[in-house]
Amino acid sequence: MDQRDEQEFAEYFEARRDAVRRTAYLLCGDWHRADDLAQTAFVALHRRWRKVRDRGALDAYVRRTVVRAMIDESRRPWRRERFVDQMPEPAPSTDGEVGDTVATRSALLGGLKRVPPRQRAVLVLRFLEGLDVAATAETLKCSEGTVKSQTARGLAALREALGDSLDDLRPAT
């Protein structure tokens, strides 16, 4: 595709992405599958972009692709899952490190849920995504000073949220 075609596709994608995702969600009832279905539809459209003559029919093409992808997914063997009320007990782990890692991750996720959303966003971008202060500020559309203050407040809130569980997570010395 040439530059003009790429630009047109990008504009269409940007304008219709959320609507296609909502349509996919209404079809399957799961946001994760909806993301997959929308992605499948846009990839198919991108492959055929140069061959599309009627740009007014793009929405219909994408909708049809989403529906067909949903039907195809439902026919695949791994989609024949059964939901149960209780999970079966996992096999006992002989490796203590895996259990410690899961406990640490669970405690961190639980603590992050108790941190205010803006501070949580800063902490995730800075420490889990590895962005620097400037990149975080650009992503959140705020000043670098705001990122620094939100980082300090977020870390304090996370420490408070974790409380005693921090002592449990530290290795014994």
Give 79-110 pLDDT, tens digit per residue: 556 667 777 676 665 555 666 666 777 788 88
Task: Write out the residue limits of the CATH 1.10.10.10 domain(s) in the chain.
Answer: 110-169
pLDDT at 144: 95
Query: Alpha-carbon distance 56 to 125, whole Å?
Result: 39
CB 23 within 8 A of CB 63: yes
Query: Alpha-carbon distance 38 to 63, whole Å?
Result: 9
The DSSP annotation for 32-47 comes to HHHHHHHHHHHHHHHH
pTM higher than 0.75: no
Task: Write out the residue limits of the CATH 1.10.1740 domain(s) in the chain.
Answer: 3-79
What does pLDDT average to in each consecutive run of 10 residues of the chain (173 residues)?
89 94 86 93 93 84 87 70 68 60 77 85 84 88 93 92 63 48
pLDDT at 173: 45
Class of domain 3-79: mainly alpha
The DSSP annotation for 6-62 comes to HHHHHHHHHHHHHHHHHHHHHHHS-HHHHHHHHHHHHHHHHHHGGG---GGGHHHHH
CATH number of 110-169: 1.10.10.10
